[in-house]
Amino acid sequence: MQLTRLTVEHAAEPLALPTLRPRFSWRLDAGDARHVRQERYELQLHTGGTLVAEASGGGESVLVDVLDADLCERTRYEWRVRAWVAVDAEPTPWASAWFETARVDLDGWSARWVDPAQQPVTRDGSPNPFAPNVNDDPNEVKLHPAKHLRQQFTLASAPASARLRMTAQGIYFAELNGVRVGDECFAPGYEGYHKLLSVQTYDVTDSLRAGDNVLGVVLADGWFAGRIAFTGTSRQYGERLRATWELEVTGADGATTIIRPDAGVRSTTEGPFRCADIFIGESYDARRELPGWSAPGFDASGWDAVTLAPVTEHLVAFLGEPVRRVLELPAVDVLTTPAGETVVDFGQVTAGRVRFTVRGPAGTKVTLEHAEVLDAEGNYLNNIAGHNKDQTDHYVLRGEAGGETWEPEFTFHGFRYARLTGWPTAPAASDFTAIVIASDLAYEGSWASSDPRLNQLHHNVVWSQRGNLLAVPTDCPQRERAGWTGDIQIFAPAATNNADVSLFLARWLRNVRAEQGEDGLIPIIVPMPRAFDEPDAPPDASDDGGEIFAIQAAAGWGDAIVIVPHVLWRRTGDVAFLARNYDAMVAWSDLQRRQAAEHLPPRLAGVQLSERQRANHALLWNGEPNFGDWLTPSLSDAADPASIMEAPRRTAEYVGPFFAGQSLTLLAEIADALGRDAEASDFAARAAEVRRAWAEEYLDADGRIRETLMGVFVLALAFGFVPEAHRDAVRRQLVEAVHANGDRLDTGFLSGPYLLPALWDAGERDLARTLLWQSECPSWLYEVDRGATTIWESWDAVKPDGTVGMSSFNHYAFGIVDDWLFGVLAGIREASPGYRRAVIAPDLDAPLEWVDAAVDTPYGPLRSAWRRDGGAVGLTVEVPPSTEAEVRLPSGWAIVLEGPDAGSPDAEGGDAEGADAGAGVRLGSGRWDLRAVRG
Ligand code: BGC
């Protein structure tokens, strides 16, 4: 028995922990033992050999709060913990880990900005999201070269320890004495830079030496100044690139020196990165490399002087996992298309870029363009329309006889295919590797079944998750690459099954709070592209899709501030997600309430309303333009961009009250979890009032909803807007709508997550299964059958006749069905926050031979596997230590305990309650093999 996976605030041995009163977590590894439960623990915290804190307690092992005073910043701590478990009188051995606190007092940052000699970034962009490039100059002309910065300094001796803290306006990487610092991509990451800017911390102890040392930095436009978001607008945060750093060097005697930028820093734009835009692409001229530029001895006398300026921005310590190169995908084929072009196929839609090896004469220029699909004929198709969406890299060879290998540095693309031009020899697949780039999250969930098509669907969701959790949670990694709040609101539950997204989303929520308006407004995108409200590039509402710019407070988008922390709390058990965001949630909900009182739905403008109707509508938040049930299939057509606003027009009036009411319900639960009892009852009462008002205004005398869209029925049922007496009427409407649509879904972004649950909870289980296994468009398996390797933005992105649309092939929103695969087909659900208690309720009536899935809970992996065996089903459940799981089978099934487990006191018959509780059995920790039989 031992303790493993020691973390502080969700982080394993962080070098710059931004929290000075961290909570501690560990896991019990109990081998094959069952019913293992921690009874007691002891924890000690040291710094430099001195005991700082000591604590002991009982069964808690996740986010244990033992400190009653702040720790010091910029300090290394060691901690160790041991535990006693129920079945063993001896403690576990001590397990130990370390962490370092960040420089938290960043207001005291005295290092200055290094502002190199540079051409300011010019404004470019188009208010029309689908407009082609207006500036046709070659990239090397309209964009600017990356900047190299160089600081030489002397150290009297090699350090005992050294930390480099750095950030930039732009994106950067650093080198010390010719060696790359760290392995991250696109530091400092993407934030609402005008509100906050993250500082990275690197351990550079081994890169420094006595005598001369050189720190080099390369800076490119990145999200700060580059052509980003769907308008492709540059210099959204600023037009000059700058970097700032402090190098804290501790000698063997404990004395520290801090090296900051000074007037001796030199810069140049003469390096090999001739231009680099995070969206457009990179142009690299290998003939212009600067060998030795970041090491002593290089002659930088011809480089430019820099300007130094005070740092006045709000700096924060970076939180979470940086973006890294996370996987490599060797090319699977080099195609010659019917049009005679050369296209490299990587077999998988991904976010990243291509590393290649090429041999040819110096000066040869090769070009790679990136796209996610081929057209119906098999030709290269740039599926991303819009301004500054080139996704094109250029490489100019230095002409090395043995060949040369290159990968871009400051850009990434959404692609599966790369079109090749200028390649000097016959290209071979082995020359190319796709480098997958993503926030480096631990993907530890797993899901597999006997149905290869469902396995592919799960695979597609994981790849869309990986491609879109890149610095911030994005809609898609090629077109907008933007932190649309609605998309992650929808996808968050699925995300938590596949990966640990705690810190990633905590960092993003920090931005959401920073960007919240004083009136409580949660932006539709975070970080919110600033071009949306800048006077020199007013969005044009008359363009196709231009109505989008009128949308500010959007139902289901802004509600991310309530729903995302709620999901994180349920799945991780961390109540801090609620506490930290509570004020922001309340302010958002208050904004919904105020706007509800002020505006009527456009449909009712000028209509004579009774007093009661007026009073009801004053409670219903539906007078604001919003995205409605975005991309409702029957209302939108991938081939016709103008159709995109039809779902908002038709459904905005409905989704507004649904989400405002649901947010109030969640707020009641959240306030309760935070011990704010009075507020909890107030929210619950308001939620009930919204639902009552809605039912009075939108249900007819027979209890039916007047609107005929499937998504409206789904949300009304799932969010409890239909009074009990009328639920059956609305259930029938939903079932009729599904049948009328050929048993195919017709739900948009907002209702999609609730379609299968609404049917399931209404007792329509066969119909839910039919929809999941449907293969006609629109359906999940239709995409799988068309060879999808990720989840598409539009169900009909490839039409049944093979026509390929201009949309994103990597949008995770509709991938939320993955949560159904885990929660229903494998049946893994949290019964209490953080899975301290879990329910295993697999759908044994599903048309499958077996399912095997696991979620990595804070206590360890929770696994549910089942396999048919004649008419019976063998079930394997693995329950992490210190937790328990209740196995509940569908009605008509019963559990029998066989073999060594027969009559075991470990498994107790549970109380059979509700439709799912045909045979409840409570299990303690450990692995259990059970048998389910019909009867
Ligand atoms: C994005 C979405 C986003 C939406 C807002 C689209 O262009 O790609 O995923 O949520 O706009 O309606």
The secondary structure of 820-873 as a DSSP string is HIIIIIS-EEESSGGGSEEEE---TTSS-SEEEEEEEETTEEEEEEEEEETTEE
Name the residue type at position 600: L
Ligand 1 closest atom vs CA 811: 9
- pTM value is 0.96
Ligand 1 closest atom vs CA 476: 8
DSSP three-state, residue 785:
helix
CA dist 641 to 46, 331, 794, Å?
60, 33, 11
Nearest CA to ligand 1 atom 1: 475
pLDDT score at 915: 35
CA of 339 to the centre of ligand 1 (A): 33
Q: Is the CB of 85 under 6 A from ligand 1?
A: no
pLDDT score at 545: 52
CA dist 258 to 159, 182, 267, 471, Å?
12, 20, 21, 29
**Burial zone of 51 (CB within 10 Å; 0-12 exposed, 13-18 middle, 19+ buried):** exposed
What does 10-24 look like in DSSP terms, one character per residue?
TBSS-SSB--SS--E
CA of 481 to the centre of ligand 1 (A): 10
Q: Show the tokens assigned to 381.
A: 């198709």
CA dist 287 to 398, 743, 896, Å?
5, 60, 73
Q: Report, as ranges of residue numbers, the positions in the chain whose pLDDT lies below 50.
A: 535, 538, 541, 902-903, 905-919
Q: Is the CB of 627 under 6 A from ligand 1?
A: yes
pLDDT score at 208: 98
Nearest CA to ligand 1 atom 6: 475
In the beta sheet, which residues pair with residue 7? Answer: 25
pLDDT score at 546: 61
Nearest CA to ligand 1 atom 8: 475
CA of 261 to the centre of ligand 1 (A): 42
Side-chain-side CA neighbours of residue 173 (13 Å): 19
pLDDT score at 906: 47
Q: Is the CB of 484 under 6 A from ligand 1?
A: yes
Name the residue type at position 558: G
The C-alpha atoms of residue 279 and residue 391 are separated, in whole angstroms, by 6
The C-alpha atoms of residue 767 and residue 760 are separated, in whole angstroms, by 8
Instruction: Examine the residue annotation and report whether 480 is marked as an active-site residue of this protein.
Output: yes
CA of 512 to the centre of ligand 1 (A): 17
- Start-to-end Cα distance in the chain: 40
What does 303-320 look like in DSSP terms, one character per residue?
SEE-EEE---S-EEE--S
What is the signed CA dihedral for 596, 597, 600, 606, rounded to 10 degrees? Answer: 180
pLDDT score at 457: 98
pLDDT score at 720: 98
DSSP three-state, residue 654:
helix
Q: Show the tokens assigned to 257.
A: 């020196």
Contacts of 81 (CB under 8 A, 6+ apart): 3, 6, 24, 26, 41, 42, 43, 44, 94, 95, 96
pLDDT score at 89: 80
Mutate to test the pocket of ligand 1, among 487, 522, 528, 790 (most ligand atoms within 8 A of CB): 487
- DSSP class of residue 99 equals E
The residue from 480, 624, 884, 886 that is catalytic is 480
The C-alpha atoms of residue 634 and residue 796 are separated, in whole angstroms, by 11
Nearest CA to ligand 1 atom 5: 627
Mutate to test the pocket of ligand 1, among 228, 231, 474, 475 (most ligand atoms within 8 A of CB): 475
Q: Are 277 and 210 in contact (CB under 8 A)?
A: no
pLDDT score at 916: 42
Q: Is the CB of 475 under 6 A from ligand 1?
A: yes
In the beta sheet, which residues pair with residue 44? Answer: 54, 80
CA of 316 to the centre of ligand 1 (A): 29
In the beta sheet, which residues pair with residue 29? Answer: 2
Q: Is the CB of 630 under 6 A from ligand 1?
A: yes
Q: Is the CB of 814 under 6 A from ligand 1?
A: no
The C-alpha atoms of residue 231 and residue 222 are separated, in whole angstroms, by 15
pLDDT score at 924: 96
pLDDT in tens, 149-169: 999 999 999 999 999 999 999
- What's the per-residue H, E or C state across 87-105? CECCCCCCEEEEEEECCCC
What does 457-472 look like in DSSP terms, one character per residue?
HHHHHHHHHHHHEESE
The sign one gets for the Cα dihedral 268, 273, 278, 279 is positive
CA of 156 to the centre of ligand 1 (A): 55
Mutate to test the pocket of ligand 1, among 474, 480, 636, 649 (most ligand atoms within 8 A of CB): 480
The C-alpha atoms of residue 111 and residue 659 are separated, in whole angstroms, by 46
pLDDT in tens, 737-795: 999 999 999 999 999 999 999 999 999 999 999 999 999 999 999 999 999 999 999 99
pLDDT score at 909: 42
CA of 475 to the centre of ligand 1 (A): 6
DSSP three-state, residue 371:
strand
pLDDT score at 638: 67
The C-alpha atoms of residue 803 and residue 376 are separated, in whole angstroms, by 6
Q: Is the CB of 279 under 6 A from ligand 1?
A: no
In the beta sheet, which residues pair with residue 78? Answer: 46, 98
Q: Are 359 and 456 in contact (CB under 8 A)?
A: no
The residue from 793, 830, 878, 886 that is catalytic is 793
Q: Is the CB of 577 under 6 A from ligand 1?
A: no
The C-alpha atoms of residue 39 and residue 30 are separated, in whole angstroms, by 14
Nearest CA to ligand 1 atom 7: 480
Nearest CA to ligand 1 atom 12: 627
Q: Is the CB of 625 under 6 A from ligand 1?
A: no
Nearest CA to ligand 1 atom 9: 475
pLDDT score at 86: 74
State what percent of residues in the chain have pLDDT above 90: 88
In the beta sheet, which residues pair with residue 923? Answer: 885
pLDDT score at 908: 45
Mutate to test the pocket of ligand 1, among 228, 484, 544, 792 (most ligand atoms within 8 A of CB): 484
Cα–Cα–Cα angle for 785, 452, 330, rounded to 5 degrees? 80
Instruction: Examine the residue annotation and report whether 78 is marked as an active-site residue of this protein.
Output: no
Ligand 1 closest atom vs CA 480: 8
Q: Is the CB of 486 under 6 A from ligand 1?
A: yes
The C-alpha R_g of the chain, in whole angstroms, comes to 29
Q: Are 805 and 783 in contact (CB under 8 A)?
A: no
- Of the candidates 535, 562, 527, 529, the one whose C-alpha atom is nearest the C-alpha of residue 548 is 529
